[in-house]
Amino acid sequence: MEKRLNAYVEKMVGAVDDVNKINPEYFSKYNVKKGLRNSDGSGVLVGLTEIGEVHGYVLYEGERKEDEGRLIYRGIDVVDLVRGFQQEQRFGFEEVCYLLLFGKLPNKAQIDEFTSLLGDMRTLPNGFTEDMILKAPSSDIMNKLARSVLVSYSYDNDPDSIEAKNLLRQSIELIARFPTMAAYGFQAKSHYYGGQSLYIHMPRPDLSTAENILHMIRPDNKYTRTEAEILDLALVLHAEHGGGNNSTFAARVVSSTETDTYSAIAAAVGSLKGPKHGGANIKAMQMLEDIKENVSDWGDDEEVKAYLTRMMNREVFDRAGLIYGLGHAVYTLSDPRTILLKEKAHNLAIEKGREKEFLLYDAVERIGPEVFSRKKGTSKNICANVDLYSGFVYNALGIPTELFTPLFAVARIVGWCAHRIEEVVCMQKIIRPAYKSITMPQPFVHLEER
């Protein structure tokens, strides 16, 4: 049967290719914003939110002017948040969760109560690990994560209610359990597809989210304070990025139908899996590995520039003509997440004896925009985005590549849940944009006449 299906697909794929081509001129003719992007690359304004703001430009006399990048969580600059956490030498992800869900920073008693609750909720329901993760392992952890989210519906006594208190309960449970789901999905994949020993470490209620991740994925449970701090920083910086990023928008679109939380969040996980979204840091790291193999002197800017030029000319690496880790839909002059993560990445590189490699990443950040501008013939500014250094950080932490995107999901689940609640409670209108049909009319022809 499978052979017959494959033969049919091979025969008909040409027809599918032919029928799914739209003349690019039509997008201009009908003023269609392809990819919901304006002509300058910015996103089409489709909604309002009080949760997060991604700032990269200002409007001056009706024109868009580039500005230093800023990322705002509930009105608070993420730089101020991170500096505060660092000054007080404490983990910040749990506090960011509280801020995004409830709209304000918690006091000591409030964060202690919230952190304790998350700690107690990290363990998966009875039988979940054995029946839903270990019995049906997946070669891709993101697919396993999406399935784990959907299966959670069956373990919920009130899965369909969209009352605010129910949405909040479900959100807290998912935020707490995502690290465990991702870690166990990784262990199952490593065992059944990689032939590794299977070990399941129970999450510890006394540890932060970042500490628990390292505790659960490492055979010996050990990690350093520096390692936990930089992973916590990565979680803070990936927790929210406005309503327009693809996975959050997917969560809002699905939530607008008033479906259940698990369906909406699973849709967001599916979106994040895509290499143009959550998998971008993997591409950046793979690109750097290719550069390391083909550039003999990592400290020679001219040699690095020459190889990046060949990359832009589609001669090397994946021949896509891209320098991964550079450029962003909103940020132009700077990405605040990159600046904050790069600082800690340098410290980690020194601790791990990988400073030379770190300096190569820095060279790509410095030289890449110049190569891009020369190739494209444009003076448009582009900056390094967070993906350039996040892959390096995870790799330096010994985190396997297949966990990079799941860790993104562990952080972004907070933003997804906050936006779902805002969409359901506040908007109360199904998202239903329009598509212009450009099909030419044709008559019906009877079967025997075709």
Task: Print the SS3 string covering 174-240.
Answer: HHHHHHHHHHHHHHHHHHHHHCCCCCCCCCCCCCCHHHHHHHHHCCCCCCCHHHHHHHHHHHHHHCC
How many Å apart are CA 231 and CA 225, to the nearest integer? 10
Q: List the one residue out of 180, 174, 186 whose CA is nearest residue 207.
A: 180
Domain co-membership, 228 together with 286: no
Structure tokens at 68: 């230093």
What pLDDT sits at residue 62? 73
In a domain, 63, yes or no: no
In a domain, 403, yes or no: no
How many Å apart are CA 330 and CA 54, to the nearest integer? 7
In a domain, 41, yes or no: no
- pLDDT tens figures, 195-231: 999 999 999 999 999 999 999 999 999 999 999 999 9
Which residues in the chain come in under a pLDDT of 70? Answer: none
What pLDDT sits at residue 46? 93
In a domain, 438, yes or no: no
Spatial strand order in the sheet of 52-60: 52-60, 63-73, 76-77
Work out how many domains the chain is built from and give that number: 2
What pLDDT sits at residue 130? 95
In a domain, 155, yes or no: yes
Domain co-membership, 176 together with 313: no
In a domain, 355, yes or no: yes
**Residues belonging to the active site:** 328, 387
In a domain, 56, yes or no: no
- pLDDT tens figures, 343-374: 999 999 999 999 999 999 999 999 999 999 99
What pLDDT sits at residue 58? 86
Domain co-membership, 185 together with 299: no
- Residue 157: strand, helix, or coil: coil
Strand partners, 66: 57
How many Å apart are CA 235 and CA 231, to the nearest integer? 6
CA–CA distance from 193 to each of 133, 134, 178, 181, 224 (Å)? 13, 12, 22, 17, 29
How many Å apart are CA 327 and CA 304, to the nearest integer? 18
Determine the residue type at 420. Answer: R
Domain co-membership, 375 together with 292: yes
What pLDDT sits at residue 136? 87
Query: Which residue range is the domain that position 157 belongs to?
Result: 76-276+414-427
Q: What is the CATH number of the domain that holds 311?
A: 1.10.230.10
Domain co-membership, 271 together with 239: yes
Reported as type and span, the H/E element at residue 362 is helix 355-376
What pLDDT sits at residue 42? 82
What pLDDT sits at residue 347? 92
b/e for 419-431, b at 16 or more Cβ within 10 A? bbbbbbeeeeeee
Determine the residue type at 238. Answer: H
Domain co-membership, 344 together with 264: no
Asked if 416 and 248 touch (Cβ cutoff 8 Å), the reply is yes
CA–CA distance from 23 to each of 28, 44, 235, 440 (Å)? 10, 22, 42, 13
